[in-house]
Amino acid sequence: MTDVNAALRRTRIGDRETAQGETERAVRRGAWPVAETPAGRTTGWWGMLLFICTEAAMFACFIASYYYLRFSTDGSWPPVSDKLPHRIVPGIGTGVLVLSCLPMFAAVRTSRKSRAVTFPLLVLVTLAGTTFVVLQAVDYMQEYPSSTPSKDAYGSLLFTLTGLHAFHVGIGVLMMLLVLGGQLARGFKKPQAGATRVMAMYWYFLAVLAVAIYITVYLTPYIM
Amino acid sequence: MRRCRRLLAGVAATLSVEALVAGCDRAPSTLSPVGPKSDFTTWAWWGLFAVAAFVCCIIIGLTVLAGVVRRRSTKVKTGEGRTFVMVCGVILPGIVFAGVFALSVGGLVATSEPSHKPAMTVDVVGHQWWWEFHYQGTSAVTANELHVPVGTSVELRLRTHDVIHSFWIPQVMPKMDLLPRRINKTWLSVDHPGTYRGECAEYCGVQHAHMDFALVAQSQSDFRSWLQRQEQDAATPTTTSEQQGMQFFTSASCSTCHTIRGTSAHGQLGPDLTHVGSRPSLAAGLIPNDVGHMSGWIANSQAVKPGNLMPPQHLSPSDLHDVVAYLQSLK
Amino acid sequence: MTQLTPPRTGTDADIETLSTVADSLEASTRYDVLPERGAAEATVGAALDAEWEEEPGLWGFITTVNHKRIGRRYLVTAGFFFMLAGINALVMRTQLAGPNNSIISPEIYDQLFTMHGTMMIFFFATPFNSGFGNFFLPLMIGTRDMAFPRLNALSYWIFLFSGIFMFTGEAMRVAPDAGWFAYVPLSNEYSPQLNLDFYSLGLLFLAVSSTVGAMNLVITFLKMRAPGMSLNRVPPFVWGIVTQSFMLVFALPPLDLANLMLFLDRRLGMRFFDTAKGGDAVLWQHLFWLFGHPDVYIIVLPAMGIVSSIIPTFSRRSILAYPYVVLATVATGIISFGVWVHHMFAVGLSDVSLTFFSAATLTISVPAGIQMFAWLGTMWRGRVVLSPAMLYAMSFIITFVIGGVTGVMFAVVPFDQQVTDSYFVVAHFHYVLFGGAVMPMLGGLFYWWPKLTGRMTSHKGGVISAVLIFVGFQVTFFPMHIQGLLGMPRRIYTYPAGYGWGTYNLIETIGAYVLAFGFLWTLFVFAQSLLSGPVAPDDPWGGNTLEWATGSPPKAYNFPVIPTVHSLNPLWDGRTLQSMVDHRHDDQRTMTEVHRTLRTSELDGRIERVMSMPGETVQPLLVAAFLTMTVCFLLADIMLAAAVAVGLMGLVIAWWMWNRPEIDEPAP
């Protein structure tokens, strides 16, 4: 904090020479590091937003490819018609991931005030993410004998699309552990609200994606 | 010195449109069309070219002049110039583009369906790196040689045996791709008898450069008699050499890849050789079909067309002589 | 050497005029150091120098996160790849000089043209733009570094390693050989060697670099503009780079997905493209061109931005119809995602989709027309100064308009089907890409060389370079139009005599050598400038944008005092430079302690807070090195080692995230 204070001492807010009008001066007052509320979005926030954009574009193309191949296939889908995908286990996984958005949301809301509450909430979210990955693995064991990634395009799509998503959830869990580790190591002193907020964006994205993929991979074969 | 002269000739040819047209009679030029489809694209080209040349002249002229005609006064004009940009950059091009779009839609209407119902259908199969033509409703199968009657539309059903190819006869029809597990339907029609160069236009591997075919447009009667000959089984060998050649062909590895109808050779990988003696060229238009070239091709086709799928054949000179004699007899 | 001086005076009432026109062309005064910058440096320069000084030697080289060093590296590396890919083309042109040549084998020829396309598109054009973007975007918007300096270093290292990876394939003679668009099934089951694994892995590898680099540029633009630089005061070049970066964020995913599928198909036996097992070959084409068409504009838009920088400076007036130029840039970026099927007109799709994409193709020509006339209008309403950079900009206009009109022709579906995959299309896209990107880039090099290196180039040498390259280009590529109309398909390693193709091919080969000589000459001009060129002043051309307010080359901190931007042409308005003097005691603008810069609001450029920046670190190089190892192990099919390398990379990333000053936290 010393450098900030030193800087503050030397700052001349409202310097006649630098006057640029009321607005700018007011903003500048509010924008100095010790301000009450942060002004504007952080670069980290934008970074996560763009990252989500590029990921969303890729999954959108992947889901579109699923339907493209599905509708350019004559005959039944899945090709082995009586082997429809198992919807219960991945359904539970998707449900858990979607519900984990609630503690995530609560964590963001509390992160600026009480980090003692934030921590257990984030632990809960991490556990939910882990559960999702485990349930996805369980589903693979169910699917495996009747469809494999190299048997036909259906199998390739099923395993790769869900696998890529589960991989992202796994990354999310690791990032969450890093945030948790940071909170532990810094003794809840150094602010983590920014990291929590950015993490939450990613988590909501994973949850929305999980629903889209669940509907595409596990439900549409039943109705189309 | 000769190169130099060729270069000068080339420059001259480039500069003079007349020389261009006169000097390239033999080229499979899209600008000398012989069928309704290429008629349209040629006509569209000259129209587009005129507009494009006009636009280029104006913009290039304005650019060069802006550099050459420099203002004497140091004053430059202020102002935004939005109206200028709006008119020249949006409204004028918009009018031109509307015309181009009309041309595009008109072209699609004009070329997607023939004016008369197709009289016959040919199945075109692309292979690495040759073409196979099946005449529907007959047993005729040819390689790298497509015969059609003049003045009637012919339906083509394009498919590929392996990778993607593209079927293009510059003087007759624009391209259509051959895709795995799909059949693309198109048509062609030729106005004048003659032989026209067809090419593969989609990169398809090492010998993409040598995947040509000949489109032979004939009068109705010539075409009919040609088709009748092609429908017949292979000619029976007459001389001893030819008989031995046939013997060798059917018993050796040749028959695992090639078919000769009327014999026990039923291979499917290579071209059908039932009437190979009647073809003007070998190896998808690469070499002329005569005894010497054919012998060389059989002995070591890799030296002629590196990478092609026919392995070198280690034949004794007498066997080679017999096989070539036999194949040449299959008119 | 042309030395120009912009106006240095002006009252508030004159701002409007002064900010659009630099008309004191004959003014005799010129400054080695701008007086305003001099004053600011005198006040805080010493403190900033001490803080921003970089470690010398090798360690400094591998740990730097300075955007200018990284930007220069991008330019040098991409320029080197350009040379290699150009040599590939020269060998091909030699082979094609006469009919039935057999200088190289068909296998090698196929690798050469595939590598030529792939390297030029992915490893030269895009990264070269990134080089300009990296170096000049922070300078033009008045900040001290990129938003994520370490990520910036990472994207450079990955770019370098992936380029080396690709050329290793070529050196081992197993370079990709299925064309730069690598259509399946030729690139799949018909290519059993490593060739296409180099392609799919190499492009996935590079995509990491392009994606993070693009995000970095966008966020730098959004959050780091100098106070007062609202969106309507952002230079067109920055808009070009930002639009390009936005496009990369959305265009690379389909390519990545396609390459991922290709890799899985080839290596793990998956069936995405296997038509016998429910896959589809056309899916590859859709995914590829969904990336591929936007990529044309990814390459061309920043280059057009360079032109929009050069032309105002050397026409001595602000760009005409600035809002239209910006809107045209952004509109091009958006529309470009809706035209991909015009690369597939011969695939046999329905007439409805052909008609739609024909119309879309015409629509995307409109924004290009807007920019074209904005440049012409700027030149005509200004006073043109024929510097080498300006000559390149004019070569660009001439060449690009020819590529543009042939592009419009491709909207006519039957005509497209007639000339696509012939030499006509080869001519067309070289007019668009060489004319639309390489010429502006060379112009940009001449324009910004003083800023990049601190030296001036020879005026005469530059003019000769522009003329040689213009002539060489036209001689090489113009005859290809005719050749295509004469029915010569592209991608053939040789052609028969007697079709009238030989003459054109010979002319083109001669042109290619002229072009190559032009590049050698240009290289010589630059080398001569580095060795013995005169030292460059801060603002040699009397430029209009903020980069000219820094030193030549800029100090590590760029701006001793972050200025307040007052107009679109801050160096001509008279007040922006003055703000550097006025604020020189304002610690919020000088930020002499630690590495810091200002963070401002996205739309209006209002100050939000001071943010601290990371210093030198070896983390980016380590991540890139482990990623390289991963890719190599994947290529060699040693999965366990690849997994270990990924794990190590994860550890370094964790270390990196642990201490992340760039995600600045709201205060307690």
In chain C, residues with a C-beta closer than 8 Å to the C-beta of B44 are 412, 414-415
Q: What are phi and psi of B35, to 5 degrees?
A: -150, 160
CATH topology of domain A43-223: Four Helix Bundle (Hemerythrin (Met), subunit A) (1.20.120)
Question: Which residues are CB-contacts of A4 (< 8 A; sequence separation ≥ 6)?
Answer: A33, A34
User: A59-63, C120-124, C537-541: which has the minimum mean pLDDT?
Assistant: C537-541
The label of the residue with tokens 């120098």 reads C49
Tokens of C235: 């230079």
The reply to whether B23 falls in a domain is: no
Whether residue B298 is predicted with pLDDT greater than 50 in this model: the reply is: yes
How far apart are the CA of C468 and the nearest CA of chain B, in angstroms? 17
Same domain, B309 and B212: no
A170 reaches C (C-beta below 8 A): no
Q: ipTM of this model? A: 0.92
How far apart are the CA of C276 and the nearest CA of chain B, in angstroms? 8
SS in 3 state form for C554-614?
A: CCCCCCCCCCCCCCCCCCCCCCHHHHHHHCCCCHHHHCCCCCEEEEECCCCCCEEEEEECC
Q: What are phi and psi of A87, to 5 degrees?
A: -100, -15
Q: Do B199 and C507 touch (CB under 8 A)?
A: no
Q: Do B62 and C414 touch (CB under 8 A)?
A: no
Work out the percent of chain C whose per-residue pLDDT is above 70. 94
Give how far Cα C135 sits from Cα of A44, A138, C217, Å.
Answer: 22, 50, 11
Query: Which one of B76, B92, B182 makes the best mutation probe of the C interface by having the most chain C beta carbons within 10 Å?
Result: B76
Nearest to B259 by CA among B166, B311, B169, B327: B327
Whether residue C107 is predicted with pLDDT greater than 80 in this model: the reply is: yes
What is the pLDDT, as a whole number, of residue A21?
41
The label of the residue with tokens 């261009």 reads B20
Task: For C114, name the nearest residue in chain B, comparing CA atoms only.
Answer: B203
- CA–CA gap between residue A46 and residue A208 (Å, rounded): 19
Give how far Cα B210 sits from Cα of B109, B286, B305, Å.
Answer: 33, 6, 8
Segment B215-236 shows an average pLDDT of: 94
Tokens of B264: 């026990």
What is the pLDDT, as a whole number, of residue A16?
29
Q: Which domain holds residue B125?
A: 120-231
Domain boundaries, chain A: 2-31, 43-223
What is the 8-class DSSP label of residue B135?
E
> Residue B302's domain is classified under what CATH number?
2.60.40.420
- CA–CA gap between residue C653 and residue B117 (Å, rounded): 67
CB count within 10 Å of CB B138 equals 12
Number of domains, chain B = 2
The reply to whether B97 falls in a domain is: no
- CA–CA gap between residue A7 and residue A2 (Å, rounded): 8
Confidence of residue B115 (pLDDT cuts 50, 70, 90): confident
Strand partners, C19: none
Partner-chain residue, chosen from A156, A174, A191, that has the shortest CB–CB distance to C270: A156
Same domain, B176 and B252: no
Task: For B166, name the nearest residue in chain C, comparing CA atoms only.
Answer: C346
* Mean pLDDT, all residues of chain C: 91
Partner-chain residue, chosen from C250, C257, C650, that has the shortest CB–CB distance to A53: C250
Sign of the four-CA dihedral C110, B24, C485, B58: positive
What is the DSSP track for C134-181?
A: HHHHHHHTT-SS-SSHHHHHHHHHHHHHHHHHHHHHHHTT----STTT
Partner-chain residue, chosen from B75, B85, B100, that has the shortest CB–CB distance to C408: B100
Partner-chain residue, chosen from B59, B60, B174, that has the shortest CB–CB distance to C418: B174
- CA–CA gap between residue C206 and residue B79 (Å, rounded): 44
Segment C598-617 shows an average pLDDT of: 89
The reply to whether B54 falls in a domain is: no
Same domain, B176 and B270: no
Bin C379: left if φ > 0, else alpha if -120 < ψ < 50, else beta: alpha
Segment C172-193 shows an average pLDDT of: 92
Same domain, B222 and B126: yes
Q: Which of B183, B205, B231 is the last residue of a domain?
A: B231
Give how far Cα C28 sits from Cα of C5, C23, C24, C31, C385, Å.
Answer: 7, 13, 9, 10, 16
Work out the percent of chain A whose per-residue pLDDT is above 70. 78
What is the pLDDT, as a whole number, of residue B252?
86
Q: Which of B169, B202, B231 is the last residue of a domain?
A: B231
pLDDT one-digit tens code per residue, C455-511: 999 999 999 999 999 999 999 999 999 999 999 999 999 999 989 899 999 999 999
Q: Do B70 and C365 touch (CB under 8 A)?
A: no
What letters, b where the CB count within 10 A reaches 16 and e where it falls short, cover C401-438?
bbbbbbbbbbbbbbbbbbbbbbbbbbbbbbbbbbbbbb
Tokens of B230: 């092609």
Q: Do C413 and B108 touch (CB under 8 A)?
A: yes
Tokens of B199: 């090419």
Whether residue C15 is predicted with pLDDT greater than 70 in this model: the reply is: no
Q: Please tell me which chains touch B, using 3 or more CB pairs under 8 Å as the contact test.
A: C
Q: Please tell me which chains touch C, using 3 or more CB pairs under 8 Å as the contact test.
A: A, B
What is the pLDDT, as a whole number, of residue B25?
55
Same domain, B124 and B225: yes
Segment C19-29 shows an average pLDDT of: 51
CB count within 10 Å of CB A12 equals 13
Whether residue C36 is predicted with pLDDT greater than 60 in this model: the reply is: yes
Q: Where are the alpha helices (DSSP H) in C316-387?
A: 322-335, 351-363, 365-381
Long-range contacts of the stretch B69-76 (C-beta < 8 A, 24+): B70/C383, B70/C384, B71/C383, B74/C23, B74/C24, B74/C25, B74/C26, B74/C383, B75/C23, B76/C21, B76/C23, B76/C315, B76/C316, B76/C317, B76/C381, B76/C382, B76/C383
How far apart are the CA of C39 and the nearest CA of chain B, in angstroms? 31
pLDDT one-digit tens code per residue, B62-101: 999 998 886 656 666 767 788 999 999 899 999 999 999 9
- CA–CA gap between residue B180 and residue B276 (Å, rounded): 27
* Mean pLDDT, all residues of chain B: 88
Same domain, B206 and B273: no
Q: Where are the alpha helices (DSSP H) in C56-145?
A: 57-63, 67-95, 106-118, 126-140
Work out the percent of chain B whose per-residue pLDDT is above 90. 74
- Cis peptide upstream of residue A78 (ω within 30 degrees of 0): yes
Tokens of A13: 């807010």
Query: Which one of C150, C282, C347, C586 makes the best mutation probe of the A interface by having the most chain A beta carbons within 10 Å?
Result: C586
Whether residue C612 is predicted with pLDDT greater than 90 in this model: the reply is: no
What is the pLDDT, as a whole number, of residue C180?
94
The reply to whether B285 falls in a domain is: yes
What is the pLDDT, as a whole number, of residue A219?
94
Tokens of B109: 């209407």
Question: Which residues are CB-contacts of C273 (< 8 A; sequence separation ≥ 6)?
Answer: C184, C185, C188, C261, C262, C265, C279, C280, C281, C283, C284
- CA–CA gap between residue C512 and residue C516 (Å, rounded): 6
pLDDT one-digit tens code per residue, C645-662: 999 999 999 888 876 544
A110 reaches C (C-beta below 8 A): no
Whether residue C240 is predicted with pLDDT greater than 60 in this model: the reply is: yes
Residue C417 or residue A223, greater confidence: C417
Residue C225, SS3? coil
pLDDT one-digit tens code per residue, B128-150: 999 999 999 999 999 999 999 99
Nearest to C219 by CA among C164, C285, C146, C279: C146
Tokens of C380: 């005509």
Give CA angle at B241 (B240, B244), nearest 5°: 85
- CA–CA gap between residue B114 and residue C296 (Å, rounded): 36
Whether residue C19 is predicted with pLDDT greater than 90 in this model: the reply is: no
- CA–CA gap between residue B172 and residue C418 (Å, rounded): 10
In chain A, residues with a C-beta closer than 8 Å to the C-beta of C261 are 65, 156, 160
Q: What is the mean pLDDT of each run of 10 residues along chain A (224 residues)?
A: 39 33 42 45 91 96 96 84 85 96 92 78 95 95 86 93 96 91 69 80 96 95 84
Domains located in chain C, CATH noted? 57-532 (1.20.210.10)
Strand partners, B130: B127
Query: Which H/E stretch holds residue B131?
Result: strand B130-135
Q: Do B108 and C419 touch (CB under 8 A)?
A: no
Segment C390-395 shows an average pLDDT of: 96
